Amino acid sequence: MLSRREPGSAGHAEARLRLARVHARIADRRRDFLHKLTTRLVRENQAVVIEDLNVAGMVRNHRLARAITDAAWRERRFMLEYKCASYGRDLVVIDRWYPSSERCSECGAVRRDLPLGVRTWTCSCGAEHDRDVNAARNILAVGLAER
The pLDDT tens digits of the residues spanning 42-92 come to 999 999 999 998 888 888 989 889 998 888 888 999 999 999 999 999 999
State the pLDDT at residue 15. Answer: 94
In terms of domains, do 78 and 103 share one? no
Model pTM above 0.85: no
Whether 31 and 77 share a structural domain: yes
First to last CA, the chain: 53
Residues 67 and 110 in one domain: no
Q: Residue 29's domain spans which residues?
A: 1-94
* Cα–Cα distance measured from residue 91 to residue 47, given in angstroms and rounded to the nearest whole number: 6
Residue 113 is predicted with a pLDDT of 85
Q: What is residue 143's predicted lDDT score, i.e. its pLDDT?
A: 92
Buried b (16+ CB within 10 A) or exposed e, 27-40: eeeeeeebeeebee
Number of domains forming the structure of the chain: 2
Which of helix, strand or coil describes residue 24? helix
Give how far Cα 102 sits from Cα of 36, 74, 115, Å.
32, 24, 10
* Average pLDDT, integer, range 20-45: 96
* Whether 71 and 9 share a structural domain: yes
Domain co-membership, 112 together with 145? yes
Q: Are 114 and 100 in contact (CB under 8 A)?
A: no
| Shared domain check, 85 and 103 | no
Give the burial string for 55-65 (b: 16+ CB within 10 Å, else e).
eeeebeeeeee
Residues 78 and 126 in one domain: no
In a shared domain, residues 82 and 113: no
For 87-145, write each residue's pLDDT tens digit. 999 999 999 899 988 999 999 899 888 888 889 989 889 999 999 999 999 999 999 89
Q: With 90 as the cut, is the pLDDT of residue 13 above it?
A: yes
Between CA 71 and CA 93 the distance in angstroms is: 19
Quick one: pLDDT at residue 19?
95
- Same domain membership, residue 113 and residue 66: no
Looking at the fold, whether 145 and 111 belong to one and the same domain comes out as: yes
Query: Are 29 and 82 within one domain?
Result: yes
- pLDDT score recorded for residue 35: 97
